[in-house]
Structure 1
Amino acid sequence: MKLDHITSRDNPALVRLRKLTVDASGYRKIGSVWIEGDHLLRAALQRGWQPALVVLTEAAMQDATLAALAESALRALVVPTALFKGLSGLESPAQIGAELTLPAAPAIDANAASVVLDRLQDAGNVGAILRSAAAFGVSQVLAIKGTAALWSPKVVRAGQGAHFGLRLIEGLAEADLQALSVPLVATSSHDSEPLHRAALPSPCAWVMGHEGQGVSAELMARCALRVGIPQPGGEESLNVAAAAAICLYESERRKG
């Protein structure tokens, strides 16, 4: 590991990382993503990702556990706390972060249990759905163009490490879903079978729609099944991330 002590905010590596923190889709131009905190770094390492760069504060360098994490990278930068704050998107900045080089976008796995995100806007919802997908054994997430950037800092934080175990493909058109061999299943409050009584195909691709508009009419027409989640409390609808968690759990439960 190459270790450098940096005191200038104009250091090229720090300039690049600041771009990743302020631009939600900056990773698409730069080809890498910034993750902050030891939890996300450990999650990446456990899934076999090797950081291209680790940045840690001078105080963190005195912590044996954090210093050991820094050794996982090809290069590490030690910076004053004030410089690290310039890279942070947290109210209470962490003491360590890493830059990960993103692989080329994979091809769609036709037979994989999947989640399709149809123009979801809220980064917290997207990250939470990725977290549920990873928890319930779904391996692939497909994002239709217009969905919040999957590797944006807010989505990565909400995902809590789920990103590193998922096959993530974004910027898709609805027509691209023709590559799937598994049936599409959507949640709908209209003309739908109650989830607990529906004959769920396994594997399948769960379609989760825009927070306000739901699944588009065109995409809904492609779905083999529509299911509804009973809401005896009388609410009009569930938060999309909550709905996704319920549906993915039910799919997993049916497997026994």
Structure 2
Amino acid sequence: MVREVITSKDNTRIKNLRKLHKRKERSRTGMFLIDGEHLVEEAVAAGQRIHYLIAEADYTFTFDASDFEVVYVSAPVLKSLSQLEAPQGVMAALTYVPPEVSGDKVLVLDDVQDPGNLGSLIRTADAFGFDRVVVSRGTVDPFSDKVLRSAQGSTFHISIEVADAGGAIREFDGMTIGTSLRDAEFLDEVPQPDRLLVVLGNEGRGVSGELLGFVDRTVKIHMPGRSESLNVAIAGGILMHHFKS
């Protein structure tokens, strides 16, 4: 059987896929692209809704791809779609399906702007048992390429939602804490609750005053050195490890 291979970068399907690099198009279609073997394998294993796989003509799948539509493309066409310096031969177009979670440990992110920070926080939440992440509408898109690559597949292991951060805090049935350098207690003084929601803030201003007004307690990390603050992803890692499941 002769395999049909798309060789034109101007192919309509390819042009439509390329549009998914923009947040507006991802929001409109509910679809996004993932790039590389690891992310594709993680998405398949997690039962994500894969519309189709995109692969180079001579690519050999490491899993059973018979249940999926595969769009075969030439190497130049794949490179036009990929945002990797060295494409790995396979991508996928999918719609995110959040897994069922307990929601006992929740991370809320208030206008985090750096994709690397957001991806690292998602990955760290996954590592330490925070199975639900709520990102404010002012936060960088969790389904952008840089965030997805930084999260390393953890996107598919936990529930991620873009929502009103204040509403998520007010509706949570359990202890809620936010980080602040003012009028805050040290992290070590906070008890270990059964249900917990942690709020982390923007890289520049921290958690907004409005959101701090909603939480039960404000906390800070004891830092005996001379630095006045921590990167939000590092601070989040310390907090989530402290309260790990």
Q: Output aligned runs, 1:38-187, within 5 Å.
A: 38-60=37-59, 63=60, 66=61, 68-69=62-63, 71=65, 74-103=68-97, 112-187=104-179
**Structure 1's 87 and 232: CA in aligned 2 closer, same or farther, altered over 3 A?**
same
- Aligned letter for 2:44? L
The separation in 2 between residues aligned to 1:111 and 1:28, in whole angstroms, is 25
TM-score normalised to structure 1 length: 0.87
Gaps of 5+ in 2: none
Deviations 1:32-85 (A, max 9, x none): 11000010011112212242111111242xx3xx2x447155211111111111
Q: What is the match of residue 17 of structure 1?
A: 17
Distance 1:111 1:217 in 2: 25
Offset at residue 25 of structure 1 (A): 4.3
Structure 1 residue 110: Cα displacement:
9.2
1:173 CA displacement: 5.0
CA distance in 1, matches of 2:163, 2:186: 31
Offset from partner CA, 1:156-185 (integer Å, 9 cap, x none): 111110111111110425235322112211
Q: RMSD of aligned C-alpha atoms? A: 2.2
The more displaced of 183-192 and 27-36 is 183-192
1:228 aligns with one of 199, 220, 225: 220
CA distance in 2, matches of 1:85, 1:198: 50
Following superposition, the deviation at residue 120 of structure 1 comes to: 0.7
Deviation track 1:192-236 (CA, whole Å, cap 9, x = no partner) reads 222123224232111010000000101001111111111122111
**Contact 1:141–1:168 at 8 Å: present in 2 too?**
yes
Question: How many percent of aligned residue pairs carry the same amino acid?
Answer: 33
| Distance 1:149-1:199 versus aligned 2 partners, 3 A rule | same
Do the aligned residues in 2 keep the contact of 1:114 with 1:205 (CA within 8 Å)?
yes
Give 1:249's aligned residue.
241
Give me the whole-angstrom Cα distance separating, in 2, the residues matched to 1:130 and 1:16: 28
Tell me the distance in 1 between the aligned counterparts of 2:109 and 2:142: 10
Contact 1:146 1:171 in 2 (8 A): no
Match of 1:204 in 2: 196
| TM-score, structure 2 as length reference | 0.91
Change (3 A) 1:70 1:79: farther
Partner-residue secondary structure (3-state), 1:168: strand
* Residues 1:72 and 1:223: Cα distance change in structure 2 (over 3 Å): farther
Stretch moving more, 133-142 or 43-52: 43-52
Q: CA contact under 8 A between 1:70 and 1:76: conserved in structure 2?
A: no
